[in-house]
Amino acid sequence: MDEHREVEIKREEKSNNSLVGATFIKYLAYIIIFFGIIWFLIHYILPMF
């Protein structure tokens, strides 16, 4: 008894808005970390020299 069934697999893709939002938050976090490191260098490391 070989029964061949076709199973349709639906992929749930992220909506465009959530993908844009997630990317925006990720890059915003990168920018905040970058400026935090720059601020630290200017205020604490640079005055040592």
Mean pLDDT over 24-32 rounds to 98
Q: How many domains does the chain have?
A: 1
What is the reported pLDDT for 9?
65
Q: Is residue 30 part of a domain?
A: yes
Return d(Cα 8, Cα 42) in angstroms, integer.
Answer: 58
> What's the pLDDT tens digit per position in 10-26?
666 556 888 999 999 99
Q: Is residue 11 part of a domain?
A: no
Q: Is residue 1 part of a domain?
A: no
| pLDDT > 90? residue 2 | no
What is the reported pLDDT for 15?
66
Residue 27 domain boundaries: 16-48
Q: Is residue 28 part of a domain?
A: yes
Q: Is residue 10 part of a domain?
A: no
DSSP 4-46: ----PPPP-PPPHHHHHHHHHHHHHHHHHHHHHHHHHIIIIIG
